[in-house]
Structure 1
């Protein structure tokens, strides 16, 4: 504004007063000079005004608007988040059709990445994912971000593997490439059509069966399914091994009409080699199957229950989760001075030993005396031993032992020994 005040005269009489100092009577030349001077001054003022307006508009345009986010170039834009269910969870792979079975795998923060990769790779190579949706339960969003790249890499490897084997089968080679991976397990069976439960609905021609049959892969954070941390008021700390029982009722309640069988697995403890759900598919929806916990030092007639694997009808597993949740609170209340001493194995073992409790929850529990075999008991599995690599294929599910430092190496060596399979894995 100060610039404008200098360029614009405050009074027109100023010009007239200056002319009176030089001339007492105006002549034609003086009049023309005054007219030229006035036009020049007006032109300069207009230019100055335009310059000021331009500078003002430029300044305003460069000030960022705090209410609107700045746009990023398309290459820097983060990938779109695909919600799995009702604006919760993350969908990594959408299956080809709705599945009858659901596998929920809880992954603690202490799970090493190489153990998680071995679990997921063997799971993809088993026949279980041909008829099962897979859900990973993480303790927090930071934990899910940590394991997400491994899920994406193994999903891509599985896709390449199954299409590569399909290509070999279509060419009708005289000799099928040697591999323990059977792509025929993922061929569609029956007349089950429709859209998968997870993710956004996509309009497709459901009357035409897909060429392959495999389930969805997704994850949830514990804070999504149990936002208030229900056990926080009863325990000093709530590890995922206990908090997961508060997450199951929420998740299973929302999908109770979509699945017939459910399996709960601890990723850090077990490895799935084949389809274990064959034990419960012919049982009632209220039935639940539990393995016993191998304990050589326990001489009691009642053996402890292995909490790493729980499977059964969807209704029975959901009711058992509610019962375990109540028993955890009961145990924490009775041991106020030792709140952190609550163990899920002890809680499950008490439920198994109390028929009255299970009848109250309408759970038909099948507590097997069979335990999950440990990898260390299947033979030597060192770097120079080959017996374990062949014995794994004879089991449906195995348990990691305390001294299985070389187990991941043996698994990788077994898979990478097949020329076709090794071409799809980066670490072979």
Structure 2
């Protein structure tokens, strides 16, 4: 009996050990308070230890993975930043291509702006010309009374614009007037010509510095002579600030000098800026009336916006075609003593080669107004621009099924209609505009110095190509040092 009683106890202990193992490996989350055996109580502590060890291992592995991903992101960020800010080699064979190409990839960080290579050390970054429109190429030293608005066609070449600017700076008119370029509808036209404009602005400053250091004032004894005294103003009179660009800054140079008598002189020149036609005429107002809106017509839709915003800042305005004329001196002297409503007109040559005066007789077929150059008081030019836009629309609707009417014919009809612009004082000149052929003859070089305007030929003609080459040669002969113009 005693032995029989012992065996069940042994079996009981074995069963309890088996139950404790089951509790360790197959714990189902039941009520642990119901287990009263000593073995079950001792196995609860290893179970919690295993759980804590497993959770800490998972946390450490997740932390290591997170740290690895962060290190990888930091490495990729540094790599992309290095690639986005890498500058190419400074050896450039053709710097003009850089201005015509779009800026390189900036990376994923817009706050880090790409800094292109500087073609010239004094070229300032572009800024808005007026009310977040246009591009300011050079800010003048003071407010000017005169304004020259020159429209640029799409077929104008770089050499033609370079010659126009070089002659314009040497003429002395930029000491009294601001220059505004009105570019065609092509969005890349202004960026294409920006290098030429900047380079000629710097050539002008080098020219001024050259004459200042050599104590030579220059002269206008030849057709392309340069008189530096026009750009130096004496006295201490306070001048107004130009309206172009940001306020508070002066021009590119504030050079002052003192004369023999202690009187201070300051360098004075006007601003140079440009507008795109899409900025001033975003809807292309004449597109619904003309099949092809050339720049000679679209400019009349741009003038109301431009001239309306500056109507109180300028007294005299000139409208000029860059492709047709060169300014050798200051032609605005013809209208400075006129009333603000005056408009000065040039007539085209007739078939016989002579100029014909305009009168009230409408039977004269050869008395056409030259629309490529117009000047006058600010009020008269503004009224002419508004009326000309309306006249272009009316003429295009009348001649829709006929041959297109030219701009000069529309302007001539508008001038002959005394009821449309009766509040404008028309002044028709009989002055002969010198042709480009006068420059090809060296004997007429001194005589041509008396003319203020030179008329170019057709861009495809040999005469215009001769004009460019001969004019550049004459300009280079005037300056003994080649550093003033890099192409001399």
Residue 375 of structure 1 and its aligned partner are, at CA, apart by 1.1
User: Paired residue for 1:315, among 371, 379, 385?
Assistant: 379
Check whether the contact 1:328–1:342 (CA below 8 A) recurs between aligned residues: no
Check whether the contact 2:344–2:426 (CA below 8 A) recurs between aligned residues: yes
Gaps of 5+ in 2: 1-20, 27-38, 81-107, 119-123, 257-263, 357-363
Check whether the contact 2:234–2:265 (CA below 8 A) recurs between aligned residues: no
| Counterpart for residue 373 of structure 1 | 434
| Counterpart for residue 345 of structure 1 | 408
| Counterpart for residue 115 of structure 2 | 75
* CA distances 1:104-163 after superposition (whole Å, capped 9, x unpaired): 000000111101100011001111100100000001331111111110110111111112
Structure 1 residues 353, 76: closer, same or farther in 2, change over 3 A? closer
| Counterpart for residue 142 of structure 1 | 188
Partner-residue secondary structure (3-state), 1:348: helix
Instruction: Write the distance in 1 (CA, Å) between the matches of 2:250 and 2:272.
Output: 20
Residue 16 of structure 1 and its aligned partner are, at CA, apart by 3.8
* CA distances 1:23-45 after superposition (whole Å, capped 9, x unpaired): xx89x9x9999999888756643
User: Paired residue for 1:155, among 184, 198, 201?
Assistant: 201
Gaps of 5+ in 1: 1-12, 19-24
Count of paired positions? 394
- Point out the more displaced range, 398-407 or 100-109: 398-407
Q: RMSD over aligned Cα, in angstroms?
A: 3.6
Structure 1 residues 130, 327: closer, same or farther in 2, change over 3 A? same
User: Paired residue for 1:275, among 322, 330, 336?
Assistant: 330
Residue 247 of structure 1 and its aligned partner are, at CA, apart by 0.9
Structure 1 residues 80, 203: closer, same or farther in 2, change over 3 A? closer
Partner-residue secondary structure (3-state), 1:103: strand
Instruction: Write the distance in 2 (CA, Å) between the matches of 1:131 and 1:46.
Output: 78
Partner-residue secondary structure (3-state), 1:401: coil
User: Paired residue for 1:329, among 381, 386, 393?
Assistant: 393
Matched, 1:355 2:418: yes
Structure 1 residues 220, 374: closer, same or farther in 2, change over 3 A? same
Instruction: Write the distance in 2 (CA, Å) between the matches of 1:253 and 1:14.
Output: 96
Residue 59 of structure 1 and its aligned partner are, at CA, apart by 6.6
Matched, 1:104 2:149: yes
Check whether the contact 1:287–1:364 (CA below 8 A) recurs between aligned residues: yes
Instruction: Write the distance in 2 (CA, Å) between the matches of 1:223 and 1:106.
Output: 13
Residue 81 of structure 1 and its aligned partner are, at CA, apart by 3.7
| Counterpart for residue 202 of structure 1 | 248
Partner-residue secondary structure (3-state), 2:370: strand
Matched, 1:411 2:419: no
Instruction: Write the distance in 1 (CA, Å) between the matches of 2:471 and 2:250.
Output: 39
Instruction: Write the distance in 2 (CA, Å) between the matches of 1:342 and 1:422.
Output: 47
Instruction: Write the distance in 1 (CA, Å) between the matches of 2:64 and 2:479.
Output: 73
Check whether the contact 2:234–2:266 (CA below 8 A) recurs between aligned residues: no
Residue 301 of structure 1 and its aligned partner are, at CA, apart by 6.9
Partner-residue secondary structure (3-state), 1:422: coil
Task: Provide the TM-score with structure 2 as the length reference.
Answer: 0.72
Residue 354 of structure 1 and its aligned partner are, at CA, apart by 2.1
Instruction: Write the distance in 2 (CA, Å) between the matches of 1:424 and 1:77.
Output: 22
Structure 1 residues 17, 404: closer, same or farther in 2, change over 3 A? closer
Check whether the contact 2:145–2:313 (CA below 8 A) recurs between aligned residues: yes
Matched, 1:127 2:140: no
| Counterpart for residue 17 of structure 1 | 25
Residue 303 of structure 1 and its aligned partner are, at CA, apart by 1.4
Residue 234 of structure 1 and its aligned partner are, at CA, apart by 1.1
Check whether the contact 1:97–1:192 (CA below 8 A) recurs between aligned residues: no
| Counterpart for residue 54 of structure 1 | 67
Partner-residue secondary structure (3-state), 1:283: coil
Instruction: Write the distance in 1 (CA, Å) between the matches of 2:54 and 2:179.
Output: 80
User: Paired residue for 2:457, among 397, 401, 412?
Assistant: 401
Check whether the contact 1:96–1:214 (CA below 8 A) recurs between aligned residues: yes
- Point out the more displaced range, 229-238 or 264-273: 229-238
Check whether the contact 2:136–2:245 (CA below 8 A) recurs between aligned residues: yes
Partner-residue secondary structure (3-state), 2:233: coil
